[in-house]
Chains A and B, each alone.
Chain A
């Protein structure tokens, strides 16, 4: 009886995981196809931003959220919790996301990155006490790749798509939004961390976010509250930095200003 039950359970699990995988692939294909391309006459160097009106709406929502909640909470939190503790929590949160980067490196065919990240993860999880200490960096091991699925899609040749600003999550592109959703399922650790532990992990992610909001305070405040058009500035910064991370040189950094007819002095 109990053996039958086991068989039934394992059969349902197989069927379920197959269906899930099918759905997942289908979602991915639809999402990739949905990454839009700018029309042929779109000026090069200009961001492809067909949803600008909606994006600007979300941008002011995000700014309000930062002003009312994230910024004050981040400063209060950092005022109460000591720097050492904050750093440890951020390192833990970072370390526990490493397996996802390893999976993405493998998907990108970057075996060197996958190996280096694996060494880093093993060292920090053991000698570094579950990632509370970053021993790997102290040992001068190669820097973490921080590979994510948006980058994997870029390596696979999926186009960037339009710029989007998401509520709460902020600047992104169509491709990176798909990447972000897929990344939710790509960390093998998530399949074995059950509650209540997974809430603790989520808690450390929140802590890490608050810490970086406070540490980068001056820079972020400058973009959000001091620039003439914070939406345009955030869009420009996000796209430049993201293209740098995924190794795409489309951002116009490499256009020669000395050859630009608009900039030549008479």
Chain B
């Protein structure tokens, strides 16, 4: 039931350990320190999510926990600005701050509600690969009685810390899907950012 990254992919695990040890000597071979760090971040996120799901708390309490995990391990600022798209240019700093805050709660409510469907699932980290300036940590989610599906965390240190800035489920990006959704909400509010913020506070 719990996350078992280690026995699933011995190569990855050994690679991670060796990569940590010898990175100074052979930086181009095997796993780099960045890869090991990206993987460690995803391991922590997955562990914490599994712990929340297994806790048997009420939905409201779980959603509060998810919001804390999301705020701690994700670059919420860049995800929120991505959701606003070009409109983030015309938002004031204060608007951007309260939008980001509202967006964080909205994401926790919207996706937190669906985590109940994942009780009893196993997430196995398959590997890490470098894409442009970030790392993609690929994993498989196994659920009994359903076909396994692929998730990927995109991890970057461009914010100054290792944080994930997107989560892909079978190729569907949270960041891009929320850009569509927030774009539609902004249209529904005639492009008024303040009204959008209060709509986001209620949504999810």
**Any B CB within 8 A of the CB of A240:** yes
Min CB–CB distance A219 → chain B (angstroms): 6
Chain B residues near A233 (CB, 8 Å)? 177, 180-181, 184
**Any A CB within 8 A of the CB of B110:** yes
How far is it, in angstroms, between the C-alpha of A228 and the C-alpha of B132 when the chains are bound? 33
**Any A CB within 8 A of the CB of B162:** no
**Any B CB within 8 A of the CB of A227:** yes
9-residue interface stretch from A99-107, A165-173, A243-251: A243-251
Chain B residues near A263 (CB, 8 Å)? 78, 81-82, 88
- Residue in chain B with minimal CB distance to A237: B172
**Any A CB within 8 A of the CB of B114:** yes
Residues of B in contact (CB 8 Å), total 40
- Main DSSP-derived SS at the A contact region: helix
Q: Are A251 and B171 in contact (CB under 8 A)?
A: yes
Chain A proximity mask over B69-107: 1 for CB below 8 Å, otherwise 0: 000000001100110011011000000000000000000
**Any B CB within 8 A of the CB of A193:** no
Min CB–CB distance A117 → chain B (angstroms): 14
Q: Which of A83, A215, A227, A256 contacts B132 (CB 8 A)?
A: A256
**Any B CB within 8 A of the CB of A127:** no
**Any B CB within 8 A of the CB of A254:** yes
**Any A CB within 8 A of the CB of B37:** no
**Any A CB within 8 A of the CB of B188:** yes
Chain B residues near A144 (CB, 8 Å)? 147
| A-B interface, 6 closest residue pairs, ranked by CB to CB distance from nearest | A244-B171, A229-B184, A228-B184, A236-B180, A258-B158, A228-B185
